[in-house]
Structure 1
Amino acid sequence: MTRTEPTQTKGEQNPSERGEGSGHVLESSFRPRFPSVSFRECAVPRTACPLRSMLKVGFDIRPALFDYAGIGRYVREVGVALTQLEDGPYLEMFAPSWRGGRKVPEGLHPERHRQHRGWLPGRAMKWINHLPGMDAGRHPAKVDVFHWTDFTFPTVRSCATVMTMHDAAFAVDPTFHGWETSRLLDRVRRHMVQADVVLVPTAPTLHDAELLGLDPQQVHVVPHGVSPFFCPPEDKHAPRDYLLTVSTIEPRKNYPRILKALEQCWDRDLAPNWIILGRPGWEHEPFLERLERSRHRDRITWISHAESEDRLRELYQGALALIHPSLHEGFGLPVLEAMACGTPVVVGEGTSPAWVAGNAGMLVNTRDIDSIAEGIERIVAEDWWRKHAAAVLLRRSREFTWENTAQLTHRAYQKAVEHYG
């Protein structure tokens, strides 16, 4: 099996750390009367953009400061990669508050970015951003384009805008987000219309964007990447003796059906134990109650969070397979990370994770318990197929790099400025 040598992690902070609430600090187009709304610089030297010919991008770094998985990982990795591009943009990175602004991602090129943070808590700025006269485009940094990296949108009126739509689960099935669905759907649609360019991570997510009425010409497919840190174990003969699921515990992750499918397998002693790595999310209680009542409770281990990136990699490397038949995903970073660690995957047919896995994932019907059980049994029993799939998936994972994500994102910034101008 072809493998890469493990590299040192970039010194990321403990994934269990959490900051305060989300929001942005964006200065008004008029002089605010409240001194607490004005910006101050983070612990980064106050220097002008070294080359004014560089595209200047207002970059919402908030998700990277408060979330270490999913969207947070995307924002952190693409932000670092953008500053490392040879002919890339200059990032004016907006942090939400005095506490959040101190959690600067490591690896940022010191001469290709500047951090801005404000005096008010992030929760307060979430509302202040939308006061009359607020405009991120008229911040003294004078950016050419502003990148909305999450579903929290500061007001932008005077520069080009790029929006990342990570997924459209809220529109595909209202049960995925509950009472927040209609409010989120209205907000996303409003900003999709305003954005000059919309980024989506996969072709299936592009289809979701079209269902929301977005012009396909406005959309750029920009896949996420995976760090070289995620790699196969040095000992290729190390045991792989459990099944793994890495996902927040919420309805769209399909945990109840996975559990029922595994119980069928365990009744016939056709599957190893199951490890769940995932924090409690929206509507997690019913599943956790069901898990406690399972007749095979002793075969299930639940870990709410990995204490380090090393521990997360170890879990991927020791798994016989990643079980990820989610009902809906925008991308599915755990699938790509598992692939990079040489671990085969069970994914839902027609979903974004299946798109990521290419033709080497074990495809199942996500709403059919018997189909999920059959997929698990096959990937456990068919040793040759599993090892062959793992090798193909490992090679495919190398096509997904954060450098490529940054290059495509930079290209999208340029298109947005052209469209706005």
Structure 2
Amino acid sequence: MKVILGTDPIKFPLTGIGRYTCELAHGLMQQAEIEELWFLHGRTLQHQLPRQQESHPFPRGMAMTQRLQKNRLAAELYRLTAPWLKTQVLRKHPDAIYHGPNFYLPPGVDHCVATFHDLSVFTWPQCHPPERVRFMQKELLQTIKRAAVLITDSEFTRREVAQYFNLPLTKVFCASLASSEEFYPRQAAGVSQVIAGYGLTFNQYCLFTGSVEPRKNIETLLNAYEKLPPALRLTVPLVIIGFSGWGSEALHYRFQHAQAAGWLHYAGYVNAADLPCLFAGARSFLFPSLYEGFGLPVLEAMASGVPVVCSDSASLPEIVGDCALMCAAKDVEQLSQLIQRSIEDEAWREHASASGLARSRLFSWQRCAQQTLHAYRQA
């Protein structure tokens, strides 16, 4: 089998899809059935996986890109021309399976596979900027037509995609994600130096990670945390890690006030090498997202031996099983109570840590690569 994997998501800031692409690439390298593995980055086809970037090499260029994305004409020109540039490269390899790991597929290429991570631009359009919704809806409808098969991160998303687009389930395959091997339980001595750089103390903060944008439901998280007893939230502050996304201006205003009050730390986008230590040092992990196609951060928390409090939305119950405290995403009162329990209830914390760690081991990137390979065979 000859496979070409798109690697455009491996860029700054490295999001969940970028990390998925990296891990899948390494897993595919170990599959004996794949005789030849190529990586397509932009218009460059190579055998070597692109390096992960910790910072954007052209900050001014990044600002220009963001302005162009908001321009409807520029976005439409890009939507029409960029895929064809990939097509010109891929047509030289008609015997290869091409896998687009981030929703998109170029036109006129046979044996194409795409990963659909979620349907939020269709089912939660209010949680995205209008220009993103316009662009992605047009392109994803094209992907549905072009793909031989589709891959999803969870069984929830598999069934949602099939139902929404009226596709047979035989055309949609689940390849569950996993946490990387850097996420594992650590003692205070193993993380204290790293987390001290962020002004944190081992086991004395609650953690949220994810892009600062409406879908992550951070406003509800702040409201719930404010309801904790003042002494408790000062002793165990909330730490928020994530790249500043769309629609986050009001949240950043609240971050400033909460930081001044002493119960919140906003760290922004942190070095990927520090992230496992920040997870392992947390007292509990909080994730009240409105919608997730998988919810990789909750799995990373469980793999780190950290108790989890999350919403019962979309795919999250499938990932956490009975190892986490769950409530409706918008239920501020219940979320606040669960957060307090996750901090204070030592018996539950011990159970959640052990059961979450055991459950996280059911997911592996090797298994994800094997399930992906099964989808390739159908293509």
Secondary structure in 2 aligned to 1:346? strand
More helix as a share of residues = 2
Q: Are positions 1:163 and 2:114 aligned together?
A: yes
Cα distance, 1:320–1:134 mapped onto 2, change above 3 Å: closer
The answer on 1:219 being equivalent to 2:219 is no
1:380 matches 2:343: yes
3-state DSSP of counterpart to 1:323: strand
Question: Matches of residues 7-406 of structure 1 in structure 2 within 5 Å?
Answer: 55-96=1-42, 104-105=50-51, 127-131=80-84, 134-135=87-88, 137-139=90-92, 141-155=93-107, 157-179=108-130, 180-209=132-161, 210-234=163-187, 239-267=202-230, 269=232, 272-294=236-258, 297-309=261-273, 311-406=274-369
| Mapping of residues 410-421 of structure 1, within 5 Å | 410-416=373-379
Q: Note closer, same or farther for the CA distance 1:142–1:295 as it changes in structure 2 (3 Å cut).
A: closer
Q: What is the DSSP-based 3-state SS (H/G/I as helix, E as strand, rest coil) of the residue aligned with 2:348?
A: helix
Q: Is the 8 A contact 1:135 1:158 kept in 2?
A: no
Residues 344 and 89 of structure 1: is their aligned pair in 2 closer, same or farther, counting only changes over 3 Å?
Answer: farther
CA contact (8 A) 1:330 1:352 kept: yes
Q: Is the 8 A contact 2:205 2:236 kept in 1?
A: yes
Question: Could you list the runs of 5+ residues in structure 1 that have no partner in the other structure?
Answer: 1-54, 107-121, 417-421
Could you tell me how far 1:300 is from its partner in structure 2? 0.6
Per-residue CA deviations over 1:320-353 (Å, capped at 9, x if unaligned) read 1110010011111111111111011111114323
- Pair 128,185 (structure 1): closer, same or farther in 2 beyond 3 Å: closer
1:41-85 Cα deviation digits (max 9, x unpaired): xxxxxxxxxxxxxx1112101112444230000001101110112
1:354–1:256 Cα change, 3 Å = same
CA distance in 1: counterparts of 2:260 and 2:311, whole angstroms? 24
Q: Whose radius of gyration is greater, 1 or 2?
A: 1
Amino acid in structure 2 at the alignment position of 1:56: K
Residue correspondences, number: 344
> Kindly tell me: are residues 289 and 346 of structure 1, through their superposed partners in 2, closer, same or farther at Cα, counting changes over 3 Å?
same
User: Matches of 1:146 and 1:102 in 2, distance apart?
Assistant: 16
Deviations, residues 2-50 of structure 1 (Å, cap 9, x unaligned): xxxxxxxxxxxxxxxxxxxxxxxxxxxxxxxxxxxxxxxxxxxxxxxxx
Q: 1:194 offset after TM fit, Å?
A: 2.4
Per-residue deviation at 1:364? 1.3
In structure 1, the residue corresponding to 2:178 is in which secondary structure? Answer: coil
Of 65-74 and 272-281, the range deviating more from structure 2: 65-74
Q: Provide, for residues 231-260 of structure 1, a one-character-per-residue CA deviation record: whole Å limited to 9, x for no partner.
A: 100459994111000111000000111001
Task: Return the alpha-carbon distance in structure 2 between the equivalents of residues 284 and 275 of structure 1.
Answer: 16
Query: Which deviates more from structure 2 when the two are superposed, residues 381-390 or residues 285-294?
Result: 285-294
TM superposition shift of 1:307: 2.2
CA deviation after TM superposition for structure 1 residue 266, in Å: 3.7
Q: 1:197-252: per-residue Cα shift (whole Å, max 9, x none)?
A: 11111122123312233332211111012222211004599941110001110000
Per-residue CA shift, 1:267-325, capped at 9, x if unaligned? 4736721111111011111111122234973111111122241x111111110111001
Distance 1:280 1:415, change over 3 A: same
Find the counterpart in structure 1 of residue 62 from structure 2.
none
Structure 1 residues 352 and 132, CA, compared in 2 at 3 Å: closer, same or farther?
A: closer
Answer whether contact 1:83 1:90 (CA < 8 A) is retained: no
| Aligned partner letter, 2:244 | P
Inter-partner Cα distance in structure 1 for 2:352 and 2:306: 9
Rounded to whole Å, the distance in 2 between the matches of 1:199 and 1:286 is 36
Is 2:38–2:47's contact at 8 Å kept on the other side of the alignment? no
Q: Distance in 2 between matches of 1:395 and 1:278?
A: 27
Instruction: State the alpha-carbon separation in 2 of the partners of residues 211 and 133 from structure 1.
Output: 28
Retained in 2: the 8 A contact 1:67–1:73?
Answer: no
CA contact (8 A) 2:87 2:109 kept: no
Distance in 2 between residues matched to 1:132 and 1:244, nearest whole Å:
42
Q: How many angstroms apart in 1 are the aligned matches of 2:43 and 2:174?
A: 31
Q: Is the 8 A contact 1:266 1:296 kept in 2?
A: no
User: Which consecutive unaligned segments of at least 5 residues does structure 2 have?
Assistant: 53-64, 69-76, 193-201
Distance 1:73 1:83, change over 3 A: same
Output one character per residue of 1:117-162: Cα deviation in whole Å (capped at 9) or x when no partner. Answer: xxxxx999865344599455412x334321111134322x242111
Q: Is the 8 A contact 1:379 1:385 kept in 2?
A: yes
Residue 15 (structure 1) aligns with: none
Q: RMSD value over aligned CA atoms?
A: 2.9
**TM-aligned CA deviation for residue 356 of structure 1:** 1.1
Alpha-carbon separation, structure 1, partners of 2:128 and 2:136: 9
* Matches of 1:392 and 1:272, distance apart in 2: 23
Q: Give the TM-score of the pair, scaled to structure 2.
A: 0.83
